Amino acid sequence: MAIPDGTTFKTEVDDLLHETRVFQVPSLFHNLANIKNDSLYAKAKTDRVAFWEECAKKLHWTTPWKQALIWEKPFAKWFVGGKINASYNCLDRHIKANLGNKTALIWEGENGEERTFSYAESYLEVNKLANAIKSLGIKKGDRVAIYMPMVPEAVFAMLACARIGAIHTVVFGGFSAEALRDRINDAQAKLLITADGGFRRGNIVPLKNIADTALEQTPGIQDVIVVQRSKAEVAMKRGRDHWYHDVVRNVKPYCEPEAMDSEDVLFILYTSGTTGKPKGIVHSTGGYLTGVYNTTHWVFDLKPNDIFWCTADVGWVTGHSYAVYGPMSNAATQILYEGAPDFPERDRFWRIIEKYKVTILYTAPTAIRAFMKWGDQWPKGCNLGSLRLLGSVGEPINPEAWMWYYENIGGQKCPIVDTWWQTETGAIMITTLPGVTPMKPGSAGKPLPGIDAEILNEEGQIIPAGGGFLSLTSPWPSMLRGIWGDPQRYKETYWGRWQGKNYFAGDGTKRDKDGYFWFLGRVDDIMLVAGHNISTSEVESALVDNPMVAEAAVVGVKDDIKGQAIAAFVILKEGHKLNAKTEEILKEHVSQKIGALARPSRIIFTADVPKTRSGKIMRRLLRDIAEGRVLGDITTLADAGIVAALKEKYQEA
Ligand code: 6R9
């Protein structure tokens, strides 16, 4: 298989490696850190599987496992025969340990409302909702879709599903009706939990109305539970729609947690694939929890008094692993914020940190770059002295943003953990341990204990120092168990590149002489727009779906804030004349089809797009054009004239 176009491993990173500054772990942090030395790495090296067993034992199992790992490549089973319940581990266990009064969630609505839930209160909410869901006929193994704003009920809904063994599939609240419909249908969900709306930049996102459109074409959905959040007027369909506050009113306050098999599915989470159809990534119960529980303790150095804030929405894997299952299984106190970082002003995050004395902040490079652009005055106006650790996730963090984060937010005293992982990996795979490993701005660091990662070339051979494809070379407990309903696609996507031998992560990577990994971005047709994975073909299909469009080619181009922005080259059908509104109509069409996150920032109308002789769109060329670079090799191009014409056009636009 050839290296996909766009992959060049001689990069800016080469230059960067020479001038990298190394930041030592602050000694105060080191002295108090959960993990102070290399012993975990050593232990994992001696016996990887035994190491993970020790990690799994930190959770509460009702029946111990019989076998730690069954590895029938590419299908792994961990802690086989063990029984465990995720909601028990996130709630009951802490109450039994006398932590019932400890604050679990501090929620702040965008409009300034505040609600706090202790572990005992969260437990009650989850138990009641679990009973309510059960009484609607949802059983172990059934799928429940969750389409919610960032409110405590979103967390309760996930844990209530976990309690009764129903499989949740959370759909990010920014997705469109069609995206929601497709995910509901693919998962064959029976129940939808949503809200009347949520607040975003002062506006109400009409989630229930959007869901109603989706529900016109989701024959499997029997019931809908609606949280009243915005108090916006919504239609309630008799017999199908129920208010959350009604269904939890007359139910018992305790629901026995279902003893789940370690390998039973905990959730499905959809992520973009290289085709237009999203992949339902399947996660297990025991292995997943083992991964997120332990990585939260190691990487975020979580202590009983910390106020932890992961800013990710529960609709993404980061929200699942580090706003719900990881922190809650560790009995953390967490912040949950509903809205935008610039509402009502651009200091909203810093005000939240000051107000609640947040100690650990985990956010994304795209947000950090936006903060940089907005200016230092915003964080300077707030007291951020409570912070002791910072984290980054979602895409490579450029050294400038790293330095800004380190100086302006961390006050040069907080270590930064740049955490590389994926929806598929379930938990953090590559990062520094904040009390142990020196930091290099721009590098994620090294594989965590128990994780084997290598950089492979096209033939699947290990490259000790140069650049190549990242592969995780041994199974790990929180790894995906497959793609929902499509084992073949699982094999092809992740294991097809090297004849089933190694896991293909899709990331270009380089390793320096100290063994640090430097991420160079995706090597497949997945864009990272503000850290969110969007496939080029998904946007192309959305465009072609518009009756005006004959053909579309989409590429991700460099963007100062979002990392990548979407540029689309569009060929209109004969008879459709371009006018002043066409671009806006098509952008809006994509927003409607997928969600605002996939809205192209630029559309270039053209008579043709460059293709290889075998008919493949040459995205590398389009990227070169869109980013204004010198054109690469066009010897395989079917009609070289197209490129010159396009380039002229793009520069005009
Ligand atoms: C957790 C999450 C996964 C893709 C991944 C990679 C990119 C995430 C990164 C990073 C460099 C980091 N990515 N974290 N690249 N450094 N610290 O983001 O999951 O949404 O599935 O995205 O994101 O390209 O392959 P997901």
Task: Give the residue-averaged pLDDT of 462-487.
Answer: 93
Distance of CA 511 to the CA centre of its chain: 24
Residue 473 reports pLDDT greater than 60 = yes
- pLDDT value at residue 17: 61
Alpha helices in 480-604 (DSSP H): 487-495, 536-544, 582-593
Can you count the helices (H) and strands (E) in the chain?
23, 33
Task: Give the residue-averaged pLDDT of 582-594.
Answer: 95
Q: Whose CA is nearest to atom 4 of ligand 1?
A: 422
- pLDDT value at residue 19: 62
Per-residue pLDDT reduced to its tens digit, 384-396: 999 999 999 999 9
The alpha carbon of 422 and the centre of ligand 1 are apart by a number of angstroms equal to 5
- pLDDT value at residue 275: 72
C-alpha to C-alpha distance for 576 and 541, rounded to whole angstroms = 18
For a ligand 1 pocket test, name from 519, 524, 527, 534 the mutation site with the most ligand atoms within 8 angstroms of its C-beta: 519
- pLDDT value at residue 620: 79
- pLDDT value at residue 412: 96
Q: Whose CA is nearest to atom 1 of ligand 1?
A: 422
Poorest-pLDDT segment among 256-270, 300-314, 608-622:
608-622
Per-residue pLDDT reduced to its tens digit, 559-583: 999 999 999 999 888 888 888 899 9
The alpha carbon of 418 and the centre of ligand 1 are apart by a number of angstroms equal to 10
Q: Whose CA is nearest to atom 18 of ligand 1?
A: 394
Taking the model in full, what pTM does it have? 0.91
473 DSSP 8-state letter: -
Per-residue pLDDT reduced to its tens digit, 256-275: 999 999 999 999 999 987 77
Tell me the pLDDT of the chain averaged across its residues.
92
Q: Which residue has the higher pLDDT, 154 or 10?
A: 154
pLDDT grade, residue 652 (50/70/90)?
A: low
The alpha carbon of 522 and the centre of ligand 1 are apart by a number of angstroms equal to 9
Q: Whose CA is nearest to atom 11 of ligand 1?
A: 396
The alpha carbon of 64 and the centre of ligand 1 are apart by a number of angstroms equal to 33
Q: Whose CA is nearest to atom 13 of ligand 1?
A: 395
Task: Give the residue-averaged pLDDT of 79-99.
Answer: 98
- pLDDT value at residue 218: 98
The alpha carbon of 89 and the centre of ligand 1 are apart by a number of angstroms equal to 27
The alpha carbon of 429 and the centre of ligand 1 are apart by a number of angstroms equal to 10
- pLDDT value at residue 5: 37
For a ligand 1 pocket test, name from 271, 398, 428, 507 the mutation site with the most ligand atoms within 8 angstroms of its C-beta: 507
- Percent of all residues in the chain with a pLDDT value above 70, rounded to a whole number: 93
Do the Cβ atoms of 275 and 537 come closer than 8 Å? yes
Q: Whose CA is nearest to atom 16 of ligand 1?
A: 396
Per-residue pLDDT reduced to its tens digit, 618-628: 787 888 888 87
Per-residue pLDDT reduced to its tens digit, 406-433: 999 999 999 999 999 999 999 999 999 9
Residue 467 reports pLDDT greater than 60 = yes
For a ligand 1 pocket test, name from 267, 282, 322, 422 the mutation site with the most ligand atoms within 8 angstroms of its C-beta: 422
- Percent of all residues in the chain with a pLDDT value above 90, rounded to a whole number: 80
In which region does residue 606 sit, left (phi positive, over 0), alpha (psi from -120 to 50) or beta (all else)?
A: beta
Residue 346 reports pLDDT greater than 80 = yes
For a ligand 1 pocket test, name from 421, 469, 516 the mutation site with the most ligand atoms within 8 angstroms of its C-beta: 421
- pLDDT value at residue 6: 35
Q: Whose CA is nearest to atom 15 of ligand 1?
A: 395
Do the Cβ atoms of 237 and 158 come closer than 8 Å? no
Per-residue pLDDT reduced to its tens digit, 219-263: 999 999 999 999 999 999 999 999 999 999 999 999 999 999 999
C-alpha to C-alpha distance for 299 and 332, rounded to whole angstroms = 14
Coil vs helix vs strand at 117? strand
The alpha carbon of 427 and the centre of ligand 1 are apart by a number of angstroms equal to 11
- pLDDT value at residue 113: 97
pLDDT grade, residue 10 (50/70/90)?
A: very low
pLDDT grade, residue 632 (50/70/90)?
A: low
Per-residue pLDDT reduced to its tens digit, 349-406: 999 999 999 999 999 999 999 999 999 999 999 999 999 999 999 999 989 999 999 9
The alpha carbon of 507 and the centre of ligand 1 are apart by a number of angstroms equal to 9
The alpha carbon of 532 and the centre of ligand 1 are apart by a number of angstroms equal to 8
The alpha carbon of 456 and the centre of ligand 1 are apart by a number of angstroms equal to 18
The alpha carbon of 315 and the centre of ligand 1 are apart by a number of angstroms equal to 15
- pLDDT value at residue 13: 62
Task: Give the residue-averaged pLDDT of 494-498.
Answer: 95
pLDDT grade, residue 464 (50/70/90)?
A: confident
- pLDDT value at residue 2: 37
Residues with CB under 6 A from ligand 1: 271, 316-318, 393-396, 418-423, 444, 505-507, 519, 522, 528, 533
Task: Give the residue-averaged pLDDT of 547-569.
Answer: 91
**Pairing status of strand 333-337 against strand 307-310:** parallel
Coil vs helix vs strand at 272? coil
Domain ranges of the chain: 526-652
Q: Based on the number of CB atoms within 10 Å of its own CB, is 607 exposed (0-12), middle (13-18) or buried (19 or more)?
A: exposed
Atom of ligand 1 nearest to the CA of 533: 20
Atom of ligand 1 nearest to the CA of 526: 24
Residues in CB range of 441: below 8 A, 6 or more apart: 20, 21, 23, 397, 399, 402, 403, 406, 416
The alpha carbon of 445 and the centre of ligand 1 are apart by a number of angstroms equal to 14
C-alpha to C-alpha distance for 434 and 25, rounded to whole angstroms = 7
Residue 603 reports pLDDT greater than 50 = yes
Residue 491 reports pLDDT greater than 70 = yes
Q: Whose CA is nearest to atom 8 of ligand 1?
A: 394
**Token representation of residue 392:** 């980054």
Q: What are phi and psi of 418, to 5 degrees?
A: -95, 110
Q: How many CB atoms lie within 10 A of CB 84?
A: 28
The alpha carbon of 294 and the centre of ligand 1 are apart by a number of angstroms equal to 19
Do the Cβ atoms of 264 and 84 come closer than 8 Å? no
pLDDT grade, residue 633 (50/70/90)?
A: low
pLDDT grade, residue 167 (50/70/90)?
A: very high
Q: What is the CATH number of domain 526-652?
A: 3.30.300.30
- pLDDT value at residue 277: 84
Atom of ligand 1 nearest to the CA of 532: 20
Q: What are phi and psi of 556, to 5 degrees?
A: -90, 130
